Copies of this chain bind each other. A is one copy, B any other.
Amino acid sequence: MNRPEVEFWFEFASTYSYPSAMRIAEAAAARQVTVRWRPFLLGPIFAGLGWSTSPFLLQQAKGRYMWHDVGRTCARLGLAFHRPAIFPQHTVLAARLALVGADAAWGPAFVRGVFAANFADGADISDRGVLGAALERAGADATSCLEAAGRADIKQGLRDQGAEAERLGIFGAPSFIAAGDLYWGHDRMIEALEHAARSATGRGPP
């Protein structure tokens, strides 16, 4: 039987995507599940709801809770976390680069590097210098990747990815697709991985 797969839909501006991005590779490997890394932008989905920005800014109480909760979640996971001065960040270039690397060996390390730059280091992840450094640290060639990210097919590819997210019923990040089922939120990452593993082996209830 094929190795089970989980699609990991993430947005670089999304606070709860950070712990998932940092931990999904090892959690998936432990369950013999392959991760398919799928960057997308939440902005167009929020705009479709009539929202001009993150719901964490539009709803102040929810925003206050979120910063506290993400902080304690990262502490529990042993992940560095500092509330960034810029929120939400502009992530279109970072997402295009993640799409360039979607099937490359450097892809996951680049994604982790950008998330850490945003939520541990407080860097501006719309900055080409910051992104170039993350590419090089992940083992990619920054110049050619940044050039590729400006190509029409990559720009269109990211728009297509967003349209696919909407078709899949995705409305927030992180989201996971496991054996056709949608799971929303970092809290559901393990459940999604276990659902994928179980569905592939045919063991136990769905």
A contact residues vs B (CB 8 Å cutoff): 49, 58-59, 61-62, 64-65, 68-69, 72, 166, 169-172, 181-185, 187-188
Contacts and interface: CB of A to CB of B under 8 A. Distances in A.
A181 to B, nearest CB: 8
As for how many copies of this chain the complex holds, the number is 2
A200 to B, nearest CB: 18
A181 B75 CA distance: 15
Contacts of A183: 69
Contacts of A49: 58-59
A94 to B, nearest CB: 24
Nearest to A58: B49
Nearest to A170: B61
